[in-house]
Structure 1
Amino acid sequence: MANFDLNELKRRMDGAVTALKHDLAGLRTGRASANLLDPIVVDAYGAQTPLNQVANVSVPEPRMLSVSVWDKTLVGKVERAIRDSNLGLNPITDGTTLRIPLPELNEQRRKELVKVASGYAENAKVAARHVRRDGMDTLKKLEKDGEIGQDESRQLSERVQKMTDETIAHIDGTFSDKEAEILQV
């Protein structure tokens, strides 16, 4: 049973929750945050590159973000990536600096942000289910190869399923908290 590790599956599922919390931290609820632009990737030098690897993001005012692009040939691509990000932001280009005023959150915008958050939560659930599938596939193979018995395989499968259910419940709870925070006026 050398290649089946419940702790490793748990670590990977916790990783999905951690990634979700990181993504949700980027969704603003009224104040500017440098994390807001973390999910954005830019087509730079022929590769999808995280924004923070081609520019510096700062918060000069509570309702303003400033993005200083290091390579002036990427300014247009950074601006396009921000516009296309589903965050409802319209950068103003000033040389190699993009100023991004954050609009007041209206009802429609709040609902859009909840949809984005919901997408993040769904991605985290999919990631957790992939981990479950990997674990179940490993168990089936071990049972088929005669390394573990049917009873042991069934017990471990039930533990993997329980761990998956707990992780998805955690994801749902995290999303519900963020949804309430976004919709709070």
Structure 2
Amino acid sequence: MPLAVEQIVLRWGDLGGQWGVNRSVAQIQALLYLSEKPLTAEDIAATLGLARSNVSNSLKELQTWKLIHRVPVLGDRRDHYQAETDLWQMATKVAQGRKAREIDPMVAAINDAVVGVNENDSDISPEVKARLKRMQAFVTTVDDWYQQMLDVPPETLMRLIRMGSKVASLLKFVGVKDRSG
């Protein structure tokens, strides 16, 4: 494996750990992303020095996230794997998976808490009730924004990202007030 690829695979594995992803899973995803041809589980295990069972479990997890897929190779009955190489698709799939596992349950819990709060309940102060409602409004707005962004073409999103703080300046120009302060 070329040194540059090895460094990225190792670093991606470290980052995966920081993001709550198993190091092996992240390393395998990086290796497949940087591979020009599909790899077998045996190829992956040998290249990364991982146990075959670890590779098998990691491949299943990556398939669950839809970050890799099996591809047939003529003349070889073994399973070969290839990574999603479209960076927007990768980011979208990760965001969708994390939202479903982490954000959606939180939104449901906040909604349940707000519904469960009795306006006349003396155990909960008006300030706490107000904070719960603000929290609900915030997560609902962010969730709505996320859903809208799924329909925005990647090229448009990249233009918005490249604009950076210019977007805030544009909003001031059209009369939208900044509420961050």
TM-score by length of 1: 0.37
Q: Which has the higher contact order (CA 8 A, sep 6+)?
A: 1
Higher radius of gyration, 1 or 2: 2
TM-score by length of 2: 0.38
Q: Which has the higher strand share?
A: 1
